[in-house]
């Protein structure tokens, strides 16, 4: 494996994004297979544990108190309610629960203590636990880590240059500071953004520069397509073309090889064929369930049927997804478990042959 780069420039990333599509897909898929099992996708369930009433002015978000949307707010859920939802998610194939609260920042006190208990409870179910709660101090990040938090999500949303056109109540540096506070604990970082908010290609590249130059790079990068919600400043934005999503996923995969690239919001507007191309381009994580916080999402049964058609398997919790580099490693991985090597299954002999070819070259 090549050394991970942390010095990508905006110009380089724009050039990658603009490559002829077939060349871009080939390059991204090659990188993906080098660092990940291309037939496994991590499945997460996103749960809104406290909805609405947020004091921020994010132009895309229906949970902002200042906008007139149809979102029904709710107070912080109970630990028992969250556990029930987590068990349901696990039964449907999710290996991670991500809990989101419409807060500007975390405040120490009874509600944060309740969230910590939620984290401990889900962790005992042998599931990865992620939270997205707004800005976070170093001490709060360490308390979440002690409770067993696996990942913390804090999106950059867009480039620093375009950021002021999206939100004014929180600075770009505030977001980077929260990511830095998470890094001071043993919690992994989940940070990505949204395309389709009126930004330029250079802004998409600028966001990837900001993420890829972090050292280490985020373990997870969600790529969201804007879901325009009536009542928000971005309600009239046109849907993002599927080709933009494919190019964004592929570019992210090339620039951040080890990262799990999450095909996130906007999947209801994508065909199975479009999503399949995103998986081929390097996406290896999705959110399952009929809702992402407040916006619609494909039904979990539809996703499992898509997985069946594409031959994809849900990734197990805490699995790092190393890709075998030799035929011997590939076969022994299954033989050690007393299982029949997957290479004897229909279609997988081609992949085994590719590993053998790469092994011979090296």
- The CA distance from 153 to 157, in Å, is 11
Question: How confident is the model at residue 252, as a pLDDT?
Answer: 98
Residues 201-250: tens digit of each pLDDT: 999 999 999 999 999 999 999 999 998 788 888 888 899 999 999 999 99
List, for the chain, all residue ranges whose pLDDT scores fall below the cut of 50.
293, 321-324, 333-339, 343-348, 350
Instruction: Return the pLDDT at 345.
Output: 42
Which positions are annotated as active-site residues?
54, 58, 61, 98, 130, 190, 262
The per-residue pLDDT for 51 is: 83
Q: Do the beta carbons of residue 248 and residue 25 sit within 8 Å?
A: no
Task: Say what the pLDDT of residue 294 is.
Answer: 52
pLDDT at residue 206, rounded to an integer: 97
How far lies 71's CA from each of 61, 64, 68, in Å? Answer: 10, 10, 9
State the pLDDT at residue 333: 46
Can you give the C-alpha Rg of the chain in angstroms? 20
- C-alpha 198/C-alpha 238 separation (Å) is 9
DSSP state, residue 264:
-
List, in order of start, the domains of the chain with CATH numbers: 10-314 (3.20.20.70), 327-361 (no CATH)
Strand 291-292 relative to strand 295-296: parallel, antiparallel, unpaired? antiparallel
Binding residues: 54, 58, 61, 98, 130, 190, 262
């Amino acid at each position: 494996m090549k050394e991970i780069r942390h010095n990508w420039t905006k110009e380089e990333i724009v050039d990658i994004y603009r490559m002829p599509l077939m060349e871009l897909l080939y390059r991204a898929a090659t990188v993906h297979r080098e660092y990940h099992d291309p037939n496994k996708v991590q499945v997460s369930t996103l749960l809104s544990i406290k909805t609405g009433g947020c004091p921020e002015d994010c132009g895309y978000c229906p949970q902002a108190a200042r906008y007139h949307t149809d979102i029904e707010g709710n107070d912080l859920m109970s630990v028992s309610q969250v556990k029930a939802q987590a068990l349901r998610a696990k039964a449907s194939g999710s290996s991670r629960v991500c809990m989101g609260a419409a807060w500007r920042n975390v405040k120490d006190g009874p509600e944060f203590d309740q969230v910590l208990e939620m984290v401990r409870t889900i962790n005992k179910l042998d599931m990865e636990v992620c939270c997205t709660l707004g800005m976070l101090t170093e001490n709060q990040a360490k308390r979440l880590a002690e409770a067993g938090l696996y990942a913390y999500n804090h999106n950059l949303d867009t480039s620093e240059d375009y950021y002021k056109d999206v939100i004014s109540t929180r600075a770009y540096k505030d977001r980077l500071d929260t990511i830095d506070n998470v890094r001071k604990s043993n919690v992994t970082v989940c940070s990505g953004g949204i395309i389709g908010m009126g930004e330029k290609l250079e802004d998409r590249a600028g966001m990837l520069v900001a993420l890829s130059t972090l050292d280490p790079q985020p373990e997870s990068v969600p790529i969201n397509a804007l879901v325009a919600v009536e009542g928000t400043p971005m309600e009239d934005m046109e849907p993002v073309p599927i080709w933009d999503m494919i190019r964004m996923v592929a570019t992210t995969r090339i620039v951040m090889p080890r990262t799990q690239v999450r095909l996130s919001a906007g999947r209801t507007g994508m065909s199975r064929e479009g999503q399949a191309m995103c998986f081929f381009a390097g996406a290896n994580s999705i959110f399952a369930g009929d809702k992402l916080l407040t916006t619609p999402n494909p039904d979990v049964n539809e996703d499992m049927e898509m997985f069946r058609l594409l031959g994809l398997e849900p990734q197990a919790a805490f699995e790092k997804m190393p890709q075998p580099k030799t035929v011997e490693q590939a076969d022994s991985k299954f033989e050690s478990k007393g299982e029949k090597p997957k290479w004897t299954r229909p279609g997988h002999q081609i992949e085994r042959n590719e590993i053998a070819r790469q092994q011979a070259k090296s």
